[in-house]
A = this chain, B = another copy of it.
Amino acid sequence: MSQPQLLGAIEAGGTKFLCALADTDGTILDEIRVPTTTPEETLTASSDFFLQATARHGPLATLSIGSFGPLSLNQTAADYGAIVSTPKPGWSGADLLGHFRRTLGVPMALDTDVNCAGVGELLFGSGRGLDTFCYVTVGTGIGVGLVIGGVPHGGANHPEAGHIRLPRAAGDEDFAGICPYHGDCLEGMASGPAMRARWGMPGELLEPNHAAWRIEADYLAALCANLTYIVRPDRIILGGGVMQNDAMYDHVRAALRSKLAGYDATVSAIDLDGYVVRPTAGASAGLTGALAIAFRLLKRRWPTHWTVGSAPAAALAENVSHG
């Protein structure tokens, strides 16, 4: 009897869980979009999907989850595999790995949503061929995934780089910031909701030359400067709703050049046009990355034979985002 060869992946977000079953060539066999309601409802609907899909297509080999957090990823912790202390009502303590261990019982991987999207970019997007890079998403929150030495970085638990402290941008001295814990950390000053609170309207309604964008670019450039000095990545991939304003890329690069200020010839030599870039792995990079992690859990290598055209990203971005 042959070993199970099908891969399961979940992109667990605050509004929806995207679940997909794929074969080891990266072809999606089945997928579903489950609304994020209560942990019991959402997790049960997700595991039911895999039970039904595997009944049709064959047994599951591995499951990989990319989730919102903060998560407990220390395997020795009592709450390993759970979402911890999220502001999302009902979800603090939700035991993701525990639920799927009980219902599906296959080898599992859990990482942050941004690390999974980082893996999607590593294999199919702007991180291709790189050793070390940062994937930043600026939207409802600010998340940072790190790929270091070709693999997603964990550390003692997982980074939460959206919550670093930065100097105030010039002209932004009075806004208190909206992070319920830190007030004026990066996320408190520069997330989408922070822009809305600061200016009384969402970013997409602000004029392209509104001062808000200069201030926003200053915070994101300060993040990029600190990531440069601490991680020394090959590239920083900046995405998320706020970066839909295309002019922001040049604003961030200009502010970053000013902040780096010519220090360290090797840093000064960086071509910022190729350093601060858009994500290109598609809207489902997180789910694609999670599938790739499921593959790696089974085969102990990345699925480098998945090509962009046949990669799940393209299909899922179409099928799921309009679903």
Chain A positions within 8 Å of B, measured between CB atoms, are 70, 72, 74, 77, 79, 84-85, 131-132, 144, 146, 148-149, 153-168, 179, 181-182, 184, 222, 225-227, 229-234, 259, 261-268
Contacts and interface: CB of A to CB of B under 8 A. Distances in A.
15 contacts: A70-B264, A72-B266, A84-B266, A153-B232, A156-B234, A157-B232, A157-B266, A159-B230, A165-B259, A167-B168, A167-B184, A181-B262, A182-B259, A230-B230, A230-B231
A161 B229 contact: yes
A226 B234 CA distance: 20
Given A155-B132, A165-B167, A230-B227, A181 B263 contact: yes
Given A132-B156, A163-B264, A227-B230, 11 more contacts: A131-B156, A148-B155, A155-B232, A159-B229, A160-B232, A161-B230, A164-B226, A165-B259, A181-B261, A181-B263, A230-B230
Contact of A153 (B72, B148, B267): B148
A161 B312 CA distance: 38
Number of this chain's copies in the complex: 2
Among all A-B residue pairs, the 10 with the closest Cβ atoms? A155-B232, A181-B263, A85-B265, A84-B265, A70-B264, A164-B226, A157-B266, A161-B230, A181-B261, A156-B234
A226 B232 contact: no
Contacts of A167: 165-168, 184
Given A230-B159, A266-B72, A266-B157, A222 B165 contact: yes
A133 to B, nearest CB: 9
